[in-house]
């Protein structure tokens, strides 16, 4: 039922082309998605610095002092996982995902917008919905027992790390919504739509 509601919400940019009063609502939602992913991206970007510093400390402790901490080693896995899972929507916002750029790079803005709309609805949204559907039982079972590390001195928060499996598709779909809204506005010739992704 929830997936059906999400799918219906994702169709709003398409409906806005047929129902003009929906356009301000879609624009507001798209701008909100931009702001959320911008904030999440700014926060998670710090994890790359903390990850490098933590690895440096681990190496010094291990090879200079001969000591090691499991929780510290696991923290690198957590930071790495959160960095890539939570910043995926921000990367899409910045147009930073890898794409086959043979035709897209030299295409007109209208053709790029068309490719973005088709790619978002045929690939991005379905894959995100499948990830949500497949991951929910896995994450729920982890929360049910507040899953901990298998190591005695490890981080007792595996359930939090697994939660990123649900946050990833939500943030990606939110940014896909914004991308679809902007692309459809471009195809309609609507120049009043604010593109926060380029502004911020």
Alpha-carbon span 157 to 76, nearest angstrom = 13
CA atoms within 13 A on the CB side of 158: 16
Alpha-carbon span 17 to 12, nearest angstrom = 9
pTM of this prediction?
A: 0.87
pLDDT in tens, 78-109: 999 999 999 999 999 998 777 666 777 777 88
Please check whether residue 174 is in contact with residue 93, taking contact to mean a CB–CB distance below 8 angstroms: no
SS3 196: helix
Q: Minimum mean pLDDT among 51-60, 89-98, 129-138, 156-165: which range?
A: 89-98
């Amino acid at each position: 039922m929830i997936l059906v509601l999400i799918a219906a919400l994702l169709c709003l940019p398409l409906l806005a082309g047929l129902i003009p009063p929906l356009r301000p609502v879609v624009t507001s939602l798209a701008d909100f998605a931009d702001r959320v992913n911008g904030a999440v991206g700014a926060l998670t970007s710090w994890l790359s610095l903390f990850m490098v510093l933590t690895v440096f400390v681990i190496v010094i402790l291990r090879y200079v002092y001969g000591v090691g901490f499991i929780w510290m080693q696991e923290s690198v896995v957590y930071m790495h996982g959160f960095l890539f899972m939570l910043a995926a929507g921000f990367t899409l916002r910045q147009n930073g995902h890898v794409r086959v750029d043979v035709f897209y790079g030299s295409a007109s803005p209208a053709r790029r917008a068309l490719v973005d709309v088709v790619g978002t609805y045929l690939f991005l949204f379905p894959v995100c919905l499948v990830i949500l559907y497949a991951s929910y039982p896995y994450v729920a079972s982890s929360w049910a027992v507040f899953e901990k590390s298998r190591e005695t001195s490890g981080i007792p928060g595996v359930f939090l790390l697994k939660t990123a499996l649900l946050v990833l598709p939500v943030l990606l779909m939110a940014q896909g919504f914004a991308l679809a809204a902007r692309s459809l506005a471009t195809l309609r010739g609507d120049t009043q739509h604010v593109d926060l992704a380029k502004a911020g």
